[in-house]
């Protein structure tokens, strides 16, 4: 089963501090595959959004999750100008034991200006791959992420974005950052985290790294 979207999920301005909510609960059977591959969430100024996804899996279930957010409406000058974004992704095994518990929280009331926290990065993404059918994709993605970070360390000038701060000093930052780690009792699951300065760069990363899923899904993700 594939769950996707026809465009970014837009969260409009909050009225009377009300919060938009989206809850997804799914059970992935033995040898089954569930792919959650939406476009990013885009929160408008003052928006408040809460998303919770709970998955129950067996030892040989297969699960793909892409969960990502952009900074907002660039054309309107809105960058990380929402009030609340909270995204929860929890995965439990058949016996109720937690396999993966993750929460991303960006709340203006608690951390102040969100833009100051993330600086020039316009996209934050999490990609999760779990299950025996996805081992090949996991290995490819893990090698790619290691290659990206290795390239930035060995040849930093080619991977950096140069900008001047308020004092006029030139500041260099990587335009695309990624990290990965394996998890699970047998280390057969992978989570990748991305921060990027453009939405297009994340789309390209997802297109290339998830392309091997086409044979299982009947379509190439993000094409």
**What pLDDT score was predicted for residue 137?**
96
* Two structure tokens written together for 52: 């919770």
Nearest Cα neighbor of 123 from 206, 6, 189, 63 is 206
CA–CA separation, 107 and 209 (whole Å): 31
CB 205 within 8 Å of CB 148: no
**What pLDDT score was predicted for residue 151?**
79
The residues near 74 (Cβ < 8 Å, ≥ 6 apart) are: 122
pLDDT in tens, the chain (223 residues): 999 999 999 999 999 999 999 999 999 999 999 999 999 999 999 999 999 999 999 999 999 999 999 999 977 888 999 999 999 999 999 999 999 999 999 998 888 778 788 888 999 999 999 999 999 999 999 999 999 888 776 665 555 555 555 555 545 688 999 999 999 988 889 999 999 999 999 999 999 999 999 999 999 999 8
Q: For residue 60, give the 3-state DSSP assignment.
A: coil
CA–CA separation, 112 and 106 (whole Å): 10
CA–CA separation, 52 and 89 (whole Å): 6
* Two structure tokens written together for 195: 């921060």
- Give the helix ranges, DSSP H, for 70-198: 108-111, 114-118, 135-154, 156-159
CA–CA separation, 18 and 193 (whole Å): 29
**Hey, how many other C-beta atoms are within 10 angstroms of the C-beta on 187?**
9
Q: Given the structure tokens 């020039």, which residue do they identify? A: 120
């Amino acid at each position: 089963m594939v769950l996707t979207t026809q465009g970014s999920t837009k969260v409009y301005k909050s009225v009377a501090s009300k919060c938009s909510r989206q809850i997804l609960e799914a059970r992935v059977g033995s040898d089954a595959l569930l792919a959650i591959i939406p476009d990013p969430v885009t929160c408008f100024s003052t928006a408040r959004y809460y998303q919770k996804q709970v998955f129950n899996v067996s030892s040989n279930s297969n699960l793909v999750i892409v969960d990502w957010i952009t900074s907002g409406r660039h054309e309107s000058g809105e960058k990380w100008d929402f009030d609340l974004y909270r995204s929860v992704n929890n995965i439990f095994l058949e016996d109720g034991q937690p396999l993966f518990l993750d929460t991303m929280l960006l709340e203006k009331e608690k951390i102040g200006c969100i833009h100051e926290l993330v600086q020039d990065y316009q996209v934050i993404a999490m990609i999760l791959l779990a299950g025996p059918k996805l081992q090949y994709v996991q290995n490819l993605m893990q090698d790619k992420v290691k290659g990206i970070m290795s390239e930035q360390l060995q040849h930093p000038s080619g991977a950096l974005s140069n900008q001047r701060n308020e004092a006029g000093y030139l500041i260099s930052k990587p335009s695309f950052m990624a990290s990965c780690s394996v998890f699970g009792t047998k280390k057969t699951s992978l989570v990748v985290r991305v921060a990027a300065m453009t939405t297009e760069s994340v789309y390209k990363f997802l297109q290339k790294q998830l392309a091997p899923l086409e044979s299982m899904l009947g379509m190439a993700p993000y094409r």
